[in-house]
Chains A and B, each alone.
Chain A
Amino acid sequence: MLLEPTLRRVGAVAIAALMLGTAPAALMAETPADTLVLAGAIDDIVSLDPHEAYEFSGLDVVNNTYDGLVEINPATLQTEPGLAESWSVAEDGLTYTFKMKAGVTFSSGNPVTAEAAAYSLQRAVKLNKTPAFILNQFGWTAETVDAMITGAGDTLTIKVDKPYAPTFLYNCLTAGVASIVDADVVKANEVVTDGVSDLGNEYLKTHSAGTGAFTLRSFKPNEGYVLEMRPGYWRGDAKMAKIFMTHVPEAATERLQLEKGDIDVARTLTPIDVAGMAGNADVAIQEDVGGQIYYLSFNQKNENYKNAKFLDAMRYAVDYQGMADTFMKGAAVVHQNFLPSGYLGALDDNPYSLDIEKAKALVAESGITDPTIKLSVRNAADRMDVAQSIQNTFGQAGIKVELSVGEGAEQLKEYRARQHDGTLQTWGPDYPDPNTNSSTFAENPDNSDAANNTGYLAWRNAYDPGEMTAESKAAVLEQDPAKRVEMYAALQKKFRETAPFIVMFQQARQTGVRANVKGFYTGGAVDSTAYWLVTK
């Protein structure tokens, strides 16, 4: 999940502020009664092929047009059977048997079979687009996947290369990349160029061929999409006949449309817009969390950041609650652990709070005199606010912070090359299993420069997490779900106490809906939006 749409939409905030307190519009427009009209920033969509889509807005479409073997219940955010009715795992933990649900059909009318399911997972691996790595983790490659995933009748057999925690597989199977596609339709739309088939990728970029509650009626990049309900959805027919999402990049515009009733749902409001609508009985604000984590990290090529006392000093020099209550209100909540709230095993306690005296004392104990940090920050308004607060409170604790402000991609380049000193960053999980963040934060198999392990955040900070690498790897193999939860809890605790990382916030989301809209679920930190339960 590469782009964080709301953070880029800070334009004209001052103007939105001017609009605070203006009376709701006198004249009311109406959206069609059978259609849910949404506005949001959807310019992140690259493709609507479920085995390629990897951006927030694209996955929202995929979640409503396709299903996987295992699904996430939009209301409870717990996993539940999807197109597979039941499953079991063999003693050795290497072979899974899924029994397919009977009577489910694709939008074409074709029945869902174990063959189609096997074809889908094989296709996702062979297509090898960005999200394919989620499936590659199980030892499935273009060469091996045909033998490892086979379907016959109503039984799908899945082999994995190591005895992983079963929850790891089930969680990964809820991801968009594990969606089941209509093999016949896809095969009929393959394009062969120079003897190489595109596996229907070009077709699926703008068409749907799934079992979802909706079909994709039209999609125009950076303009919008229309989904059409199809009768006979296995989870119950959608209540809305159509879903219409329009691309409205400007939050203040969205707010105006929502108050006028020209849209039913506004997805990228800023906290200022939300505050401005307080007291408007026609509009309700839904709050939940997203998966994004805000953190500070420090490059251990600088010896100061190996000093436990100094790291502790910094942990007590951040005004977590102060920021969350002021400029981050509605955009983030305090969260100090690397697993986002909502994830299996996530810790929700936040032991650190601003304590300048304690921080000062810890700096003194650390033996570091006149510490100075060069903190790299992206030139986005929300990042700058956080950085300035940190500069202020660190300064009070005797730690000088120099801000190095730059363009996002350039800062990322510096970070990946281990050339930063300290940096303010965000991280979004890749798939709904704790291993996604555990492996990136707490693992670093080789800390040498030559290893160039840019995928590991620990490596980027020249941080060797010691035993944690092995512990995180063990957690993904743990067969007992309860024990697995304990292992992640222990990892997060150890990490927040020792690593040169300070996790500060988890993203919060505020969605504006018309008062008559019910049953709109955004998917929280682990899933995408569900449209089929919406009524209005």
Chain B
Amino acid sequence: MTSTPAPPSRLIPLLRQIGGTVVTLFVTFLGLLMVTFFISNVIPVDPVLSILGERATEAQMEEARERLGLNEPLWKQFGIYVGNTLQGDLGTSIRTREPVLQEVSQRFPATLELATLATILGVLLGVPAGVIAATKPGSFFDQSTRLIGLMGYSMPVFWLGLMGLLLFYGQLGWVGGPGRLDAGYQMSLDFELTQYTGMILLDTALNNRWDMFANAFSHIILPAGILAYISMAYISRMTRSFMMNELGQEYITTARVKGMPERRVIWVHALKNVMVPLITVIALSYAYLLEGAVLTETIFAWPGLGSYITDALMVADMPAVLGGTVVVGIAYIGLNMLSDLLYRLVDPRARV
């Protein structure tokens, strides 16, 4: 977003800006659809064969190709696909024959819940850690934050997940195991709980089922903690670097010279300016987690979007893969837009 010189009327540029955003969004979205669609068409897998399996006769395969519209020219298939998607129809899963939108919307809350909790934890830990590290560069705290961050960055997430399970669930018994609830609760979930959001922590709280809430919390805390660790590693590194940059600015020196308490200089003056680029960092990290953190979901038997897309890929269920990818793409675009909006809230220069 570029800042424009003070206009005579504020309405027209605002409309122009909104219009520009909408066009940008639409073009981005179309690009997303095009890329996902064509990638899914160049991979050398015959979806018909993977659905019908070895026993299929040629006639059955031809019938399926016709039914799935795979005999149409590619550009026509793409046109139909875009048209349907814009109407909210993500197609039908080849394998389950259920609408993809319905399946994705059943899976998305589980991922959303996990990613949101992980991001909150990541921000709560990562931002202060980065700020403190920046104010005492080279200190023991700075070095250990860097080491911990480096580990979070470089360790494969499935390894962390399995080790975390082994230690905190297997050995220490501090947390619940894989899945979103203990078997006893999980079985009765659909019958005893009104599911408003599909997010178990919220739903159990709204239903006043605090026993179930505690159980769900014991299950989500480990996968969320592991994702938070990765997100924290990134956020703290970026915060530190932004903060270092900011602390070298003249206005900070001025504030210090004026005799302002150091705490206020760092946590109010500097942090406020750091927040601007940090918002993008946090939004991107959140979007990354929304992708489903595929391996984490697999290891923790978490029925989210990541495992949905993986399962679909295994059987070349392309409508499901595409649908899942489009939802992730929309989340990316949405979060980008949100961070743009937040920019404007925290950075007066970006306001119209």
Contact = CB atoms under 8 A, between A and B. Distances in A.
Contact of A407 (B44, B54, B183): B44
B103 A221 contact: yes
B186 A2 contact: no
Interface stretch (B13-21, B170-178, B261-269, B278-286): B170-178
Contacts of A130: 52, 55
A452 interface: yes
B187 A35 contact: yes
B303 A249 contact: no
B187 A244 contact: yes
Nearest to A409: B50
Contacts of B316: 409
Contacts of B184: 31-32, 35
Given A15-B158, A247-B303, A250-B301, A22 B49 contact: no
Interface in A125-174: 130, 133
A455 B303 CA distance: 36
A8 B54 CA distance: 17
B80 interface: no
Contacts of A427: 54
B159 to A, nearest CB: 6
Nearest to A133: B55
B298 interface: yes
B162 A257 contact: no
B98 interface: yes
Given A43-B311, A222-B311, A409-B316, A256 B187 contact: no
Contacts of A222: 303, 307-308, 311
Nearest to B303: A223
Contacts of A368: none
B46 A409 contact: yes
Contacts of B52: 130
Interface stretch (A91-99, A259-267, A353-361): A259-267
B169 A260 contact: yes
B49 A413 contact: yes
A410 B45 contact: yes
A19 interface: yes
Contacts of B147: none
Contacts of A223: 303
Contacts of A247: 301, 303
Nearest to B56: A454
Interface string A201-212: 000000000000
Interface in B93-136: 95-98, 103, 106
Q: For B54, B98, B158, B162, which residue has the most chain A Cβ atoms within 10 angstroms? A: B54
A3 B49 CA distance: 13
B159 A15 contact: yes
A127 to B, nearest CB: 14
B190 A407 contact: no
B190 to A, nearest CB: 5
Contacts, number: 132
A262 B162 contact: no
Contact of A218 (B50, B190, B298, B299): B190
A513 to B, nearest CB: 15
A37 B181 CA distance: 13
A218 B191 CA distance: 9
B301 A246 contact: yes
B298 to A, nearest CB: 5
Given A222-B303, A249-B298, A412 B162 contact: no
Contacts of A455: 55, 57
Contacts of A407: 44-45
A196 interface: no
B183 A221 contact: no
Contacts of A396: none
A262 B299 contact: no
Interface residues of B, number: 49
A475 B281 CA distance: 71
Contacts of B106: 220
B58 A25 contact: no
A417 B158 CA distance: 39
Contacts of B179: 246, 248
Given A26-B172, A455-B55, A32 B301 contact: no
B314 interface: yes
B158 to A, nearest CB: 6
A412 B54 contact: yes
Contacts of B95: 46
Contacts of A3: 315
A26 B173 CA distance: 7
A46 B98 CA distance: 10
B182 interface: yes
B170 A259 contact: yes
Nearest to B300: A253
A412 B178 contact: no
Given A26-B172, A223-B303, A260-B170, A253 B183 contact: no
Contacts of A25: 169-171, 173
A252 interface: yes
B53 interface: yes
A226 interface: yes
A27 interface: yes
A133 B301 CA distance: 35
Contacts of A253: 162, 165, 178, 299-301
B166 interface: yes
Nearest to A457: B54
Given A46-B96, A250-B299, A256 B186 contact: no
A27 B44 CA distance: 48
Contacts of A32: 183-184
Nearest to B179: A246
A229 to B, nearest CB: 13
A12 interface: yes
A29 interface: yes
B55 to A, nearest CB: 6
Nearest to B107: A222
A141 to B, nearest CB: 15
Given A32-B184, A221-B98, A409 B49 contact: yes
Contact of A256 (B50, B53, B169, B311): B169
Contacts of B187: 35, 226, 242, 244
B298 A31 contact: no
Interface in B241-293: none
B311 A22 contact: no
A244 B186 contact: yes
Interface string B285-325: 00000000000001111010001100100111000000000
Interface string A9-32: 001100100010011011101011
Interface in A246-282: 246-250, 252-253, 256-257, 259-260, 262-263
Given A25-B171, A452-B58, 19 more contacts: A2-B55, A8-B314, A15-B162, A19-B166, A26-B171, A31-B183, A46-B96, A130-B55, A221-B96, A246-B179, A249-B311, A250-B178, A253-B162, A253-B165, A256-B177, A262-B177, A407-B44, A410-B46, A455-B55
Interface of B: 44-46, 49-50, 52-58, 95-98, 103, 106, 158-159, 162, 165-166, 169-173, 177-179, 182-184, 186-187, 190-191, 298-301, 303, 307-308, 311, 314-316
23 contacts: A15-B158, A25-B171, A25-B173, A27-B173, A43-B311, A218-B191, A222-B311, A226-B187, A247-B303, A248-B301, A249-B298, A253-B165, A256-B170, A260-B173, A260-B177, A409-B45, A409-B50, A410-B45, A412-B54, A413-B46, A454-B56, A455-B55, A455-B57
Q: Which 7 A-B residue pairs are closest in the complex by CB-CB distance?
A: A27-B173, A2-B53, A248-B301, A37-B183, A409-B50, A223-B303, A32-B184
